[in-house]
Amino acid sequence: MISTTWSAVKSFIDSRKLRIQYIDEGEGANYLVWAFDGPLQLHCTVDHAEDDDKQADQIDFEDNYLADANLPFTDGSNRQITRSAPFGSSEGFLFNGQGVEGIAAKGTTTDIDYTLNAEHYVNGMELFLKNQFYGDYLHFQIIDKGYAYAGILYPAEYAPGIPWAVAAPTGVPLNQFGTHWYVDPDVCNQDAIRIEYPARLMAGFTIRLQYTSTGTEDVDLKCNLFLHKPST
């Protein structure tokens, strides 16, 4: 925290489009004023004199800044930074985690799929493995397995006269958000993978864990998906 003058604090908040926080000690004392921008804090005092004795800083503060001060802290999207929410509901979402499991055959590539029956958002997963081998890896994919979005999100046909069911019999890849993600051969819990933003998944999308085994034993795979659904 930096203690400075009202002029410096005013310049700081105006240039960053911030709002100030203050405590009023009452007439004859001071306004205690703070400005926050992440970990950076500026502080100053402004005299709180009676009407006949007001100075320029007090007049400027009271006329131009006081009314918009002491609002809750918000981020760049005007969302309150610190607050509580009941039953795990936040920003219009409810957590709806889902476990997925399968066996990845030894020495080959296996698709382990989970298809969504409603719109969800995903922001991570936690992976558990048994019998994995050094060099095993995964692709994390989003697939339109039933071709429900053909002609909407991608062309209606692979090529004129060639349907997607022929060209892509296991589904049309829409996104691959992890490529050659190598696994740790020595631990079961591969640790959680979390991202700071959620990815929207439409109803009917399939989350595919495409596991490539390089070992001599089938791999037992279990995965917890961090899914969230709109609360309304």
Residue 47 lies in a domain: yes
Residue 195 lies in a domain: yes
Q: Are residues 115 and 217 in the same domain?
A: yes
Q: What is the pLDDT of residue 58?
A: 95
Q: Are 126 and 223 in contact (CB under 8 A)?
A: yes
Q: Are residues 139 and 172 in the same domain?
A: yes
Q: Are residues 124 and 203 in the same domain?
A: yes
Q: Are residues 96 and 198 in the same domain?
A: yes
Q: Are residues 164 and 105 in the same domain?
A: yes
Helix (H) or strand (E) holding 9: helix 6-16
Residue 74 lies in a domain: no
Percent of the chain with pLDDT over 70: 91
**Whole-number Å distance between alpha carbons of 28 and 61:** 16
Q: Are residues 206 and 112 in the same domain?
A: yes
Q: What is the pLDDT of residue 194?
A: 85
Q: Are residues 59 and 92 in the same domain?
A: no
Q: Are 52 and 67 in contact (CB under 8 A)?
A: no
Phi, psi of 176 (to 5 degrees): -125, 105
pLDDT lower than 70: segments of the chain: 73-91, 232
Decide the pairing of beta strands 2-3 and 40-48: parallel
**Whole-number Å distance between alpha carbons of 219 and 130:** 6
Residue 140 lies in a domain: yes
Q: What is the pLDDT of residue 86?
A: 45
Residue 153 lies in a domain: yes
**Whole-number Å distance between alpha carbons of 27 and 48:** 5
Q: Are residues 147 and 108 in the same domain?
A: yes
Residue 219 lies in a domain: yes
Q: What is the pLDDT of residue 78?
A: 57
26 lies in which domain range? 2-68
Q: What is the pLDDT of residue 79?
A: 59
Q: What is the pLDDT of residue 39?
A: 74
Q: What is the pLDDT of residue 198?
A: 83
Q: What is the pLDDT of residue 91?
A: 61
Q: Are residues 60 and 142 in the same domain?
A: no
From 143, 142, 13, 148, select the one nearest 69 (Cα to Cα): 13
How many structural domains compose the chain?
A: 2
Q: Are residues 144 and 56 in the same domain?
A: no
Half-sphere exposure of 5 (CA within 13 A, CB side): 5
Residue 199 lies in a domain: yes
Kindly report the CATH number assigned to the domain that includes residue 121.
2.60.120
Q: Are residues 117 and 198 in the same domain?
A: yes
Residue 77 lies in a domain: no
From 146, 128, 147, 148, select the one nearest 138 (Cα to Cα): 128
Q: Are 142 and 121 in contact (CB under 8 A)?
A: no
Q: Are residues 30 and 93 in the same domain?
A: no
